[in-house]
A and B are shown apart, each in its own frame.
Chain A
Amino acid sequence: MGREPATMADSDAAAVAGRFGSLMLRSDSDLPSVRRAIHQILDGYGVQGGKVRVTPWSIQLATNRGRVLYADRIKSRSRNLGRLRQLGALSRAVTSGQLRGAPLWESLQAVAVMADPYPAWLRTAAASIAAGGIALLTVSTLDVFWSVVALATATQAFASLLAPRWLKHLTAGAVAMLGALFLTRLDPGLDPRVIAAGGVVPFVPGILSESITADLLAADLISTAGRVAETVCAAAPLAAGVLLVDWLVTSK
């Protein structure tokens, strides 16, 4: 004991646990779950102690004396519950000692390159129907539902043509407001603000507000601040797009 650098077993355990953590963060898992999975895997390898630093954008595993055994930066995240489910099953297999070595790395690689189970058009349609459902929860009329479904499809179609996220959201907001104004011309009974709000639902960072509180409850202030900034960066361009069109139309 008392030796530094860490043993081979520690390095292996850190590499596996770190890779798990990275994949979980890429799938937009919450931080307490990532930390718990890392601990479980290290426990499964019979390794305890050390330092684990996890933020929504980075992961680092080190010995207590500061020797870094694993580090990764997370450039993009998208919620993928199918991948998280596979990782959960793998984590249980590692913890129980059923899966180690090369088969484990092959399984991890397979999870990393897992194909999306649904085609893009189906995800667009699903997001539009979900937006319609949420609008229906607010205003219980079917014409609102269909208007929002149509508008959400249009906003996603336009936004998918653009690359930076802020521009995508700005365009989505503008298209949603334009579409809402057009639809209210056709049916004066509709409220343009409700329809526009429904049209941008697929872009609204709703789940982030729950993640912010979860991070806050876990006393993770850096992640909380980061997620707040992320929410503002996602929601502000949407609102700006809506307001821009509203201002252009009403000022004439």
Chain B
Amino acid sequence: MNGSRWTIGFALLWAAMGAAQPGIGREIISKITIEEVLSIGALDDEALFQWTGVAADPDGFIYVLDAMDYSLKKFDLRGALVKKTGGRGQGPGEFMIPRLLDASPNFIFATDQNVAGVYVFDRELNYRKKILCPSLIAHLKALGDDRVAVAAMSFQAPGKILVLNDDGKVLSEIAYLDGNPGILMDSISFIPDAAGSFYLAFLFQDRIEKWSSDGKRVWSRSLLGGKKSVTKKISSFSLPGETCFKDIALDRRGHVLVLGGHLSEAPSRTVFVLDLQGDLLTTFVLPDTSHCLYVDRRNYLYARANDGVTLKKYRILYE
């Protein structure tokens, strides 16, 4: 009797704590809407031309990679351009195909598509160093000032997330593939949480997964009813032609946000909202198509508009 009382009491306390604490995925929400708070880049200005990656620092400054003028740009909280660096080239801090971006408290991490490494800039956009990587990089997230996680792009050993220190030493890895499903089928976007777990969205498979820091799959979900990407024959290769998902992010209230790809109801606009256990809570639709979804430390959501000429910043409203 005493034992069951303790059990019930503990369960009630645990449930109450879970409901009250932000960030652990127990909040019940029925609807999410977004409200635009900032727009950077218009047709007649020189702010953005084709942005590819976005990140924000703890003070709210916004950093953007632009593939059309090969630059890394810094904007203030009102969207005014503060500084610009980069340029086309293969020298330190230059880009040929600028692609991925993330920020730690003090540094900005950027990739160039055909470079096996991560460029490190300080918050004033001074180039600091290059973190060498064993392979090209398909996705990048900063884990702190001195660590990054990258999805390695490798034909020999596909399907790995590597955690690197700032000298390029591999500290740990997660092998997330079962077998070899084919070219590009290992492509993912991922987001780490504070506990060291990783949430993965497969770009060409209807799979969203959570992996623990010790490399074990925690759960796996399908959100598109098992739809498959139609493959295209290019030369002698069969390549997936449609994306299932494009990006994944975590908000500050414990939800996983997954940007649907070509196969979602509103292609490249539908955002699936999951709790941390992988249960689908709701969806919402971005006003314009995006390739990217980013949530900053203040819980603002960033997405693309006007085919990369415009960056939109939204407040997330929960009901």
Same complex for A and B? Answer no
Binding site for A on B (CB under 8 A): none
Binding site for B on A (CB under 8 A): none
